[in-house]
Amino acid sequence: MTIAEQLIRMAEDELTEYSTDARKIEKLRRKFSFAVPYPKQKAVRDQVAASLPTNVVAKLAEGNRQTIALPFWGIGGLGLLLGISGRQPLDFIATGVGFYLAFQIQKWGWELQAKRLVVQTLDDIEASMHQPQPEAP
């Protein structure tokens, strides 16, 4: 597993907690500082940023993954309902396809959001390194 993949997994773990993005970034800053030396952070950030797609569908999936997956969950549920009640085994194909697509869309959106969080955290670390430190009285 590369360093970038490790950072993405750390960000995915952080996404499971209900908190603000600023709090997630603050918690990830400490973890990233231990995992990646400062000179390599720029290269890792560029690598993760290059892997982020810029098309409209990816941006929608990142921000609204549950909303986009909802119709596919419905198709899967409807196929299951019709397959059981009507005893039509071909309706179970819609169940499998619908559930698979819904799961994959949510998984893809989750990974995109984690990658974006990694980039934001590394940018925050970079910005804090260039800010002058306040003087203690």
Residue 135 has pLDDT above 80, yes or no: no
List pLDDT tens digits, range 7-66: 999 999 988 888 888 899 999 998 888 888 888 888 999 999 999 888 998 888 888 999
Look at residue 80 and tell me if it is in a domain.
Answer: yes
CA atoms within 13 A on the CB side of 29: 15
Residue 100 lies in a domain: yes
Which residues are CB-neighbours of 86 under 8 A, at least 6 positions away? Answer: none
134 three-class SS: coil
Domain range spanning residue 76?
3-128
In a domain, 98, yes or no: yes
Residue 74 covered by a domain: yes
Dump pLDDT digits (tens) for 52-63: 888 998 888 888
92 located within any domain: yes
- Count of structural domains, the chain: 1
